[in-house]
């Protein structure tokens, strides 16, 4: 909501524009005032909405036309004043002033102000006034209301400026079609979204507890039971489908706001809309979706304990069948308050842990959001807002320390790591990544045409870390390896070659030589270890090559036979201890061993990759299993305390 309102008074000569302003300020009638009074500024502490009000007078004289047009273009609301004792000034509202303002391309609310009510004859009725004004309001939708006043007798003078201010802060046009007397579709959509967010148990009813929580959030004051019953009785009387024995339905919720607007209480509906992030155009405000979050260079963004708790509770709320996984329909319901699934254009749910039927487990759900936050934290911020995070969405995220700072201290405190996967076509990159998220092995080769990411958790010393693996295609290699910024964004490189392809290793060696890849942790992986070893067509064999540059020999794996040799655990260990896999850093010290000595110590202590499927995700019911990290443990603990 804006913090200042600029009100402009226009109208024919002699209608009393200047006198109206003077009567407001002096609180008495001044018979002789100057032709155009200077700008008046009223401080926020004396206005009902706590906003600064600027009141501008104007002249209708031809010689002042240029100044008038400049003021019209700067105004937030225009009060068009006419004299009740002069019918000609009323007729010119629709014949001259409203068309003239439109011709300038100005689209701001207008208030019709009938001054000199003290000079009206006794034969005029309210009905006849309605008959005169309503046709104008129907023709000119920018007209918010009509107010009659007397600057001489100080009747309704302050109301003129109150309604003018209200027309800016609580406009009718975005919410209500005055001609059809119905809420506009965009307003209905916004109210329905708010209803869904307030329906915490997702039963399509707002019970008394949910209604009071809504009341507290929007107006900071709960309703007494008698008041709640009164609200429901009003709905029941006018809209029987709007309430049942459980509480208020979506139909009833929308009806209530239609009633508020019809009774002139637009501020009630606008207060609700703004509490839920809506701007004057009924779209979610940019500052609500994307509050400023400073992420210094070399820092990454992760979910905070609040973030993990929010997503875990959201998962629980929409897991209708309580099977520990979100199926397709449950995901549609979950994302119904947002523009849709944020991963619709990716390989999701193949990117994370699912059940055999493709439903996303809690493990996979939290992992997917961990990856999203690392790669594009702005998407996470937006969806926190879309999905109803309570409070400042930035508290759901945390900015990590710069990588160099962590490395100097010898302790990496981040929880989410990014690994780029390089390799020649048919080297097994995709199969390696699919195995990480428990997807079945396929003999059929499918070349990767779109960027592919996967994510899963890896237990390290009893605490879960998340490893994000991103496949780098041939068309991306130059962009990644020639960019220091892109390389700094990742934690390690995984170079994959096929032991059954004589040219597969040479592809990697040439890649490393061409782009002078140094000072970046690298792990070499040999796939298809189930087949007979073929001599690689290169000047030295892979194990010798790795020893020569001070790296551990390639790790041999077989995705087909599910013999992964703790590969994902090793990759995570390297991400946490990058110095053990930087070319040259271990030369002559560990050339005969894999993994290096420093890694062996970590390997004995740490756990294994969590690759369980559906059976392993009864986390909500088993006290013996937790999500691992303090952030996720807090999320699950919070869920266990709730009664759904």
386 in the same domain as 266:
no
370 in the same domain as 315:
yes
For the chain, the average pLDDT equals: 88
- Reference 436, options 459, 412, 462, 469; nearest CA is 469
136 in the same domain as 240:
no
In a domain, 74, yes or no: yes
302 in the same domain as 262:
no
The residue with greater pLDDT, 294 or 404, is: 294
203 in the same domain as 77:
no
Bridge-partner residues for 247, per DSSP?
244
- Segment 337-342 long-range contacts (CB within 8 Å, at least 24 positions apart): 337/193, 337/196, 337/197, 337/386, 337/387, 337/388, 338/383, 338/386, 338/387, 339/386, 342/372, 342/379, 342/383
Confidence band of 604 (pLDDT split at 50, 70, 90): very low
Percent of the chain with pLDDT over 70: 88
Let me know: does 114 contact 124? Beta carbons within 8 Å: no
Confidence band of 614 (pLDDT split at 50, 70, 90): very low
Let me know: does 524 contact 454? Beta carbons within 8 Å: no
At 289 the pLDDT is: 98
554 in the same domain as 486:
yes
Range of weakest confidence among 73-82, 129-138, 423-432, 604-613:
604-613
Q: How far apart are CA 582 and CA 590, in angstroms?
A: 12
Q: How far apart are CA 215 and CA 496, in angstroms?
A: 57
Let me know: does 271 contact 214? Beta carbons within 8 Å: no
Residue where one domain finishes, among candidates 170, 196, 215: 170
Number of domains forming the structure of the chain: 4
Confidence band of 443 (pLDDT split at 50, 70, 90): confident
Q: Report residue 485 CA to chain centroid gap.
A: 26
In a domain, 602, yes or no: no
Q: How far apart are CA 606 and CA 580, in angstroms?
A: 16
Q: What is the pLDDT of residues 453-511, one digit of tens each?
A: 999 999 998 899 999 999 999 999 999 999 988 998 999 999 999 999 999 999 999 99
Residue where one domain finishes, among candidates 378, 400, 422: 400
- Reference 469, options 482, 483, 458, 484; nearest CA is 458
In a domain, 611, yes or no: no
In a domain, 252, yes or no: yes
In a domain, 560, yes or no: yes
Please give the average per-residue pLDDT across 228-241, as a whole number: 94
307 in the same domain as 250:
no
At 539 the pLDDT is: 96
Q: How far apart are CA 322 and CA 354, in angstroms?
A: 15
Backbone phi, then psi, for 527, in 5-degree steps? -95, 170
423 in the same domain as 571:
yes
CATH classification of the domain holding 247: 1.10.238.10
Let me know: does 471 contact 452? Beta carbons within 8 Å: yes
Percent of the chain with pLDDT over 90: 77
Let me know: does 532 contact 556? Beta carbons within 8 Å: no
pLDDT surpasses 50 at 592: no
Q: Report residue 502 CA to chain centroid gap.
A: 49
95 in the same domain as 18:
yes
- Reference 494, options 526, 466, 462, 465; nearest CA is 526
pLDDT surpasses 60 at 639: no
Let me know: does 79 contact 142? Beta carbons within 8 Å: no
* Sign of torsion over alpha carbons 84, 89, 90, 91: positive
Domain of residue 472 covers 409-580
CA distances from 8 to 13, 67, 189 (A): 15, 12, 33
Residue where one domain finishes, among candidates 400, 420, 452: 400
Q: Within 10 Å of residue 124's Cβ, how many Cβ atoms?
A: 12
- Reference 619, options 253, 361, 332; nearest CA is 361
In a domain, 546, yes or no: yes
Bridge-partner residues for 42, per DSSP?
53
Q: Report residue 2 CA to chain centroid gap.
A: 21
Half-sphere exposure of 189 (CA within 13 A, CB side): 13
Q: How far apart are CA 157 and CA 7, in angstroms?
A: 14
534 in the same domain as 449:
yes
- Reference 474, options 505, 503, 455, 447; nearest CA is 447
CATH classification of the domain holding 99: 3.40.50.300
463 in the same domain as 361:
no
188 in the same domain as 165:
no
Q: How far apart are CA 367 and CA 361, in angstroms?
A: 10
**What token pair was written down for 467?**
């490893």
In a domain, 610, yes or no: no
Please give the average per-residue pLDDT across 514-543, as a whole number: 94
Let me know: does 81 contact 98? Beta carbons within 8 Å: no
Confidence band of 89 (pLDDT split at 50, 70, 90): very high
Let me know: does 284 contact 384? Beta carbons within 8 Å: no
Let me know: does 522 contact 420? Beta carbons within 8 Å: no
**What token pair was written down for 73?**
């273009």
At 615 the pLDDT is: 34
pLDDT surpasses 50 at 426: yes
**What token pair was written down for 611?**
């690759």
Let me know: does 75 contact 110? Beta carbons within 8 Å: no
Q: Looking at 263-304, list the stretches that DSSP marks H as alpha helix, in order from N- to C-terminal side.
A: 266-275, 286-289
Q: How far apart are CA 427 and CA 526, in angstroms?
A: 9
At 635 the pLDDT is: 53
Q: How far apart are CA 311 and CA 290, in angstroms?
A: 18
The residue with greater pLDDT, 128 or 241, is: 241
At 632 the pLDDT is: 53
Q: How far apart are CA 305 and CA 285, in angstroms?
A: 26
Please give the average per-residue pLDDT across 558-565, as a whole number: 92
Range of weakest confidence among 53-62, 116-125, 163-172:
116-125
Q: How far apart are CA 18 and CA 184, in angstroms?
A: 37
Bridge-partner residues for 467, per DSSP?
417, 456
Let me know: does 93 contact 112? Beta carbons within 8 Å: yes
In a domain, 632, yes or no: no
At 246 the pLDDT is: 94
């Amino acid at each position: 909501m804006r913090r200042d309102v600029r009100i402009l008074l226009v109208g024919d000569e002699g209608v009393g524009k200047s006198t109206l302003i003077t009567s407001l300020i002096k609180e008495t009638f001044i018979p002789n005032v100057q032709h155009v009074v200077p700008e008046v500024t009223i401080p926020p502490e004396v206005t009902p909405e706590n906003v600064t009000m600027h009141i501008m007078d104007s002249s209708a004289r031809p010689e002042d036309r240029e100044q008038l047009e400049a003021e019209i273009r700067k105004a937030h609301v225009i009060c068009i004043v006419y004299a009740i004792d002069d019918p000609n000034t009323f007729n010119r509202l629709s014949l001259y002033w409203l068309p003239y303002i439109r011709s300038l391309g100005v689209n701001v609310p207008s208030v019709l102000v009938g001054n000199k009510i003290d000079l009206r004859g006794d034969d005029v009725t309210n009905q006849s006034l309605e008959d005169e004004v309503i046709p104008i309001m129907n023709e000119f939708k920018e007209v918010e209301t009509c107010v009659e006043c007397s600057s001489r007798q100080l009747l309704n003078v302050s109301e003129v400026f109150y309604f003018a201010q209200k027309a800016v802060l609580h406009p009718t046009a975005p919410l209500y079609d005055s001609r059809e007397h119905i809420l506009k579709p965009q307003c209905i959509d916004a109210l329905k979204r708010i209803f869904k967010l307030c329906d915490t148990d997702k039963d399509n009813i707002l019970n008394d507890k949910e209604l009071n929580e809504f009341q507290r959030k929007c107006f900071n004051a709960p309703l007494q039971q008698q008041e709640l019953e009164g609200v429901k009785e009003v709905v029941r009387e006018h809209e029987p489908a709007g309430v049942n024995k459980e509480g208020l339905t979506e139909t009833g919720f929308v009806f209530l706001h239609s009633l508020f607007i019809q009774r002139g209480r637009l501020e009630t509906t606008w207060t609700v809309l703004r509490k839920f992030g809506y701007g004057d155009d009924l779209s979610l405000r940019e500052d609500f979706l994307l509050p400023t979050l400073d992420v210094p260079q070399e820092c990454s963004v992760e979910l905070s304990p609040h973030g993990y708790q929010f997503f875990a509770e959201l998962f629980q709320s929409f897991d209708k069948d309580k099977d520990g996984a979100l199926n397709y329909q449950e995901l549609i319901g979950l994302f119904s308050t947002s523009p849709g699934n944020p991963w619709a254009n990716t390989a999701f749910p193949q990117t994370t842990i699912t059940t055999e039927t493709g439903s996303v487990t809690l493990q996979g759900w939290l992992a997917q959001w961990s990856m999203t936050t690392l790669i594009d934290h702005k998407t996470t911020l937006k969806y926190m807002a879309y999905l109803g995070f309570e409070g400042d969405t930035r508290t759901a995220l945390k900015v990590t320390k710069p990588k160099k700072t962590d490395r100097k201290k010898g302790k990496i405190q981040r929880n989410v790591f990014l690994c780029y996967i390089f390799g020649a076509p048919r080297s097994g990159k995709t199969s390696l990544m699919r195995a990480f998220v428990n997807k079945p092995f396929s003999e059929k080769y499918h070349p990767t045409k779109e960027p592919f990411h996967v994510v899963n958790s890896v237990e390290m010393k009893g605490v879960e870390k998340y490893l994000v693996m991103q496949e780098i295609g041939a068309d991306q290699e130059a962009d990644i390896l020639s960019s220091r910024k892109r390389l700094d964004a990742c934690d390690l490189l995984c170079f994959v070659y096929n032991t059954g392809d004589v040219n597969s290793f040479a592809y990697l060696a040439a890649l490393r030589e061409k782009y002078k890849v140094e000072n970046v942790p690298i792990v070499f992986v040999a796939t298809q270890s189930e087949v007979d070893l073929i001599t690689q067509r290169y000047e030295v064999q892979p194990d010798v090559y790795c020893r020569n540059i001070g790296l551990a020999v390639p790790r041999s794996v077989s995705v087909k036979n599910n013999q992964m040799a703790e590969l994902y655990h090793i990759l995570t260990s390297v991400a946490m201890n990058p110095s053990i896999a930087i070319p040259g850093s271990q030369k002559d010290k560990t050339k005969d061993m894999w993994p290096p000595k420093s890694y062996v110590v970590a390997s004995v202590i740490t756990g294994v990759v969590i690759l369980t499927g559906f059976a392993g995700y009864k986390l909500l019911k088993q006290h013996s299993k937790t999500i691992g990290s303090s952030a996720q443990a807090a999320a699950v603990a919070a869920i266990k305390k709730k009664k759904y």
